[in-house]
Amino acid sequence: MSEFFDFLGRRYDDLIEVGLEHMYLVGISVLLSTAIGVFIGVTTYRTERPREIALAVTGSFLTIPSFALFILMIPIMGIGAPPVIVALTMYGLLPVVRNTITGLREVDQATVESAKGMGMGRTQRLVRIELPLAWPVIVTGVRVTALVLVGIAAVGAIVDGPGYGTFIFDGLARVGSPAAINLVVSGMLGVIVVAILFDTLLAVLGKLTTSRGIQ
């Protein structure tokens, strides 16, 4: 055990740097997933067919094994961070799209009708009434996305992506040596810490951006 703490002490700077990279990678992907996912949700929630297609397509992304997807990205995007970000964004879409659609559809129709009756146009209704009311549900979706992506991001090391995955793959390459366990365990713990940080951050952010009237 003490040997593990020695390892952490020795690689301290490394662990922090890799952690920041991991957060950066996930942060960018969550942002992209949220932007694209909310857009897809907003454009499809009203009508049944497009809505079902949006959910089916983004859902099918999640069924592709991450290992395979990362490798498939190499011919198109090469190696490093970009293919990882694209793949993560794809994985992150479903929770955002699903919660955006659910949230918007759950908005009380009487509220929307009175907005319409007061002379708010379609865009105004969406921006000023529907999205703010659906926001808590959307934020929940974003939090799920963040948790999923923090885990999958580690696999991105297979295409030379940054983050705690590098520790885990290093460990994998040295199975049998005493350093292997230390590398894998510290990579895993790092992922957990990043996940907790993201979730806390998004919870606070969600609370700050949700009206007190609906909390």
Partner 1 sequence: MTEQTSTASSAATAPGRTMIKLEGLGKQYPKEPKPAVDNLTLEIPEGEIVILVGPSGCGKTTTMKMINRIIEPTSGRIILDGEDVTKADPDQLRRKIGYVIQQIGLFPHMTIAQNIATVPKLLGWDAKKIDARIDELLQTVSMAPETYRNRYPKQLSGGQRQRVGVARALSGDPAVMLMDEPFGAIDPITRDRLQNEFLRLQAEVRKTIVFVTHDIDEAIKMGDRIAILQEGSRIAQYDTPEQILTAPANDFVADFIGRGASLKRLNLSRVRDIQLSQWPTVQLGEQPSRVLDVLRASDKGFALVLDEQRKPRRWVSAPDLQRDENRPLDQIGLAPEAIVEPQATLNDALNELITANYSVAIVVNASGEYQGIVDIDSITEAIRTMRTDARARARVGLDEDDTVDEAAQVGR
Residues 126-145 that bind partner 1 (CB under 8 A): 129, 132-133
Figure out which of the listed residues 177, 200, 209, 211 binds partner 1, where binding follows CB under 8 A.
211
The distance of closest approach from Cβ of residue 136 to partner 1 in the complex, given in angstroms and rounded to an integer, is 10
Of the pair 56, 214, the CB lying nearest partner 1 is at 214
The distance of closest approach from Cβ of residue 64 to partner 1 in the complex, given in angstroms and rounded to an integer, is 38
The distance of closest approach from Cβ of residue 38 to partner 1 in the complex, given in angstroms and rounded to an integer, is 17
Length of the chain measured in residues = 215
Q: Contact between 108 and partner 1 (CB under 8 A)?
A: yes
Q: Are the C-beta atoms of residues 164 and 19 closer than 8 Å to each other?
A: yes
How many residues bind partner 1 (CB under 8 A)? The answer is 22
Of the pair 84, 134, the CB lying nearest partner 1 is at 134
Selection from 62, 142, 144 nearest residue 134 by Cα = 142
Q: Contact between 110 and partner 1 (CB under 8 A)?
A: yes
Of the pair 76, 118, the CB lying nearest partner 1 is at 118
The distance of closest approach from Cβ of residue 108 to partner 1 in the complex, given in angstroms and rounded to an integer, is 7
- What is the SS3 string spanning the chain? CHHHHHHHHHCHHHHHHHHHHHHHHHHHHHHHHHHHHHHHHHHHCCCHHHHHHHHHHHHHHHHCCHHHHHHHHHHHHCCCHHHHHHHHHHHHHHHHHHHHHHHHHHCCHHHHHHHHHCCCCHHHHHHHHHHHHHHHHHHHHHHHHHHHHHHHHHHHHHHCCCCCHHHHHHHHHCCCCHHHHHHHHHHHHHHHHHHHHHHHHHHHHHHHHCCHHHC
Interacting span for partner 1 (CB under 8 A) from 2-10, 11-19, 125-133, 188-196 = 125-133
Residues 12-41 that bind partner 1 (CB under 8 A): none
Say how far apart CA 151 and CA 192 lie, in whole Å.
8
Residue recorded with tokens 């939090």: 143
Of the pair 120, 201, the CB lying nearest partner 1 is at 120
Q: Contact between 49 and partner 1 (CB under 8 A)?
A: no
Q: Contact between 106 and partner 1 (CB under 8 A)?
A: no
Q: Contact between 117 and partner 1 (CB under 8 A)?
A: yes
Interface residues with partner 1 (CB under 8 A) are: 108, 110-121, 124, 129, 132-133, 210-214
